């Protein structure tokens, strides 16, 4: 039975808070297992990667087959449906166009004391991309992770993706070709992350690692952070739909299940001011679940992690949205801009009844790699900025140093750092 919460009920606040804070990932602690894998890859390199690939993917990795060849990529592309390739091209062009607009600008100016100041943006030299290959393979994620890196100017982009029993998804390889990925390695799991971070055999270390994965991949990214940069620690998928009773309940039900079908740990939430509409959506979800090819997964997510919340007015919705800080937020109302202005925390926001979350997953343009588990309170979706860093620029001539130097030396004295102070004063005496 789906959880139903009503803002009118006594005890709603406590029930809502408990729902927001519930743990969804569960399972055994993987930190120690991942720590051992990373340690082995750092010590033994490719030999350890081969061992773990045989153990987890049932595939004998060799020096010859670890890297996917250009011929293999071309054969995979030729095996894809032409309409699928056309859709990939369409999506890639929109994603590239959107991210090109995100590129930051360098700045250089001279302030009123004559000091040259500014900043300069440069990309990382090399980035690693992890592409899942277990429960499902996602060509769209390859585009979403790789294209921003290339737009940012990353010179080398290496992808690690598991190949269970040696098999790889042809459309994933076709997407990698379109995104401009330079190297593809058929390794997955924590060992794939470790190989990207520290190097293994033909795999040179990278500077940043992005991409989704299971609990072991997420924990591996957590453990290599600091040695390399990462995008985020991704959790289970989430959607929150704010909808009034004017919507088609079948549409909203499909939107809710679009995230529930990802994983049993996913979460779908409906907030509405119409109890009768809530009943219709619940019934429509049950009907669609019965016919779903991913019924087992989606049903577990819907029954165990999801909720329908009824409020007196949709004016009450933004406060609840901000507490949840969802990965995806749909505002399926007459005037979505009015609610948008009151919402502060969400990864991606979809405006109106005709903007299902799925268009953001594939072809809208903005990245679908988004903060989960309430991280939208402080984090953003993947962008070109995840592959860039900013260097400050400072320059003084004699007159400028004379104006700002004495204060710097005085502060150095106050902090008990005499060499700091002297490095300024020796120049002031010149």
**What structural domains does the chain harbor?**
3-24+235-364 (3.40.50.1980), 31-106+122-230 (3.40.50.1980), 396-428 (no CATH)
What is the C-alpha separation between 66 and 53, in angstroms, rounded?
A: 10
Q: How far apart are alpha carbons 373 and 40 in whole angstroms?
A: 31
**Confidence (pLDDT) at 388:** 97
- Whether 155 and 30 have beta carbons less than 8 Å apart is answered as no
DSSP 228: B
pLDDT of residue 306: 97
Predicted local confidence at residue 194, as pLDDT: 98
* pLDDT, position 389: 97
267: helix, strand or coil:
strand
Looking at residue 134, its pLDDT comes to 55
pLDDT value, residue 1: 81
The radius of gyration of the chain from alpha carbons, rounded to an integer in Å, stands at 25
3-state secondary structure of 157: strand
What's the rounded Cα separation, in Å, for the pair 128 and 205?
9
Where in the sequence numbering do the catalytic residues fall? 327-328
Sequence-distant (≥ 6) Cβ neighbours of residue 53 within 8 angstroms? 59, 60, 61, 186, 187, 188, 191
What is the reported pTM? Answer: 0.93
Contact 190, 111 (CB under 8 A): no
Phi (first) and psi of residue 182, to 5 degrees: -85, -35
Rounded Cα distance between 402 and 427, Å, is 9
Please report which residue ranges of 238-305 form alpha helices under DSSP H.
Answer: 249-260, 275-291, 295-305
Compute CA 247 distance to the chain's CA centroid, rounded to the nearest angstrom: 30
Question: What is the pLDDT tens value at each position of the chain, 430 positions in all?
Answer: 899 999 999 999 999 999 999 987 655 688 999 999 999 999 999 999 999 999 999 989 999 999 999 999 999 999 999 999 999 999 999 999 999 999 999 999 999 999 999 999 999 999 999 998 755 679 999 999 999 999 999 999 999 999 988 889 999 999 999 999 999 999 999 999 999 999 999 999 999 999 988 889 999 999 999 999 999 888 899 999 999 999 999 999 999 999 999 999 999 999 999 999 999 999 999 999 999 999 999 999 999 999 999 999 999 999 999 999 999 999 999 999 999 999 999 999 999 999 999 999 999 999 999 999 999 999 999 999 999 999 999 999 999 999 999 999 999 999 999 999 999 999 998 7
Contacts of 284 (CB under 8 A, 6+ apart): 249, 250, 252, 253
Bridge pairing between strands 307-310 and 267-272: parallel
Nearest one of 158, 156, 154 to 186, comparing CA atoms = 158
Using DSSP's 3-state secondary structure scheme, residue 342 falls into coil
pLDDT of residue 429: 84
* Under 8 Å between Cβ of 231 and 202: no
Question: Do 103 and 152 touch, CB atoms closer than 8 A?
Answer: yes
The angle subtended at Cα 209 by Cα 207 and Cα 212, nearest 5°, is 175
Q: Are 240 and 324 in contact (CB under 8 A)?
A: yes
pLDDT of residue 31: 92
């Amino acid at each position: 039975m789906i959880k139903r919460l009503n803002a009118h009920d006594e005890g709603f606040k406590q029930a809502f808070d408990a729902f927001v804070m519930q743990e969804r990932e569960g399972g055994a602690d993987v930190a120690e297992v991942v720590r051992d894998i990373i340690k082995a890859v750092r010590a033994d390199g490719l030999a350890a990667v081969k061992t773990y690939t045989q153990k987890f993917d049932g595939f004998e990795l060799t020096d010859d087959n670890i890297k996917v060849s250009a011929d293999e990529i071309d054969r995979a592309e030729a095996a894809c449906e032409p309409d699928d390739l056309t859709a990939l091209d369409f999506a890639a062009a929109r994603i590239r166009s959107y991210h090109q607009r995100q590129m930051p600008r360098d700045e250089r100016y001279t302030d009123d004391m004559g000091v040259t100041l500014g900043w300069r943006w440069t990309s990382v030299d090399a980035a690693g991309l992890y592409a899942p290959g277990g429960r499902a393979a996602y060509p769209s994620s390859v585009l979403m992770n790789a294209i921003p890196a290339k737009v940012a100017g990353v010179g080398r982009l290496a992808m690690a993706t598991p190949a269970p029993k040696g098999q790889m998804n042809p459309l994933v390889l076709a997407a990698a070709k379109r995104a401009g990925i330079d190297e593809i390695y058929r390794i997955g799991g924590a060992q794939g992350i470790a190989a990207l971070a520290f190097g293994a055999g033909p795999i040179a270390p990278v500077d940043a690692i992005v991409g989704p994965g299971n609990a072991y991949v997420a924990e591996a990214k957590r453990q290599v952070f600091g040695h390399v940069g990462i995008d985020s620690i991704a959790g289970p998928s989430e959607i929150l739909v704010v909808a009034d009773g004017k919507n088609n309940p079948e549409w909203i039900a499909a939107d809710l299940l679009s995230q529930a079908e990802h994983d049993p740990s996913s979460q779908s939430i409906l907030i509405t001011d119409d109890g009768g509409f809530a009943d219709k959506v619940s019934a429509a979800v049950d009907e669609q679940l019965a016919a779903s090819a991913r019924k087992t997964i989606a049903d577990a997510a819907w029954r165990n992690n999801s909720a329908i919340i009824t409020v007196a007015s949709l004016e009450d919705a933004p406060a609840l949205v901000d507490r949840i800080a969802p990965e995806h937020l749909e505002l399926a109302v007459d005037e979505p801009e009015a609610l948008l202005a009151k919402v502060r925390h969400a990864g991606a926001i979809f405006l109106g009844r005709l903007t299902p979350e799925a268009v953001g997953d594939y072809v809208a343009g903005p990245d679908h790699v988004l903060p989960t588990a309430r991280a939208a309170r402080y984090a953003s979706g993947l962008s070109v900025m995840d592959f860039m860093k900013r260097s400050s620029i400072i320059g003084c001539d004699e007159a400028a140093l004379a104006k700002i130097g004495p204060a710097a030396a005085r502060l150095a004295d106050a902090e008990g750092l005499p060499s700091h102070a002297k490095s300024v004063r020796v120049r002031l005496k010149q």
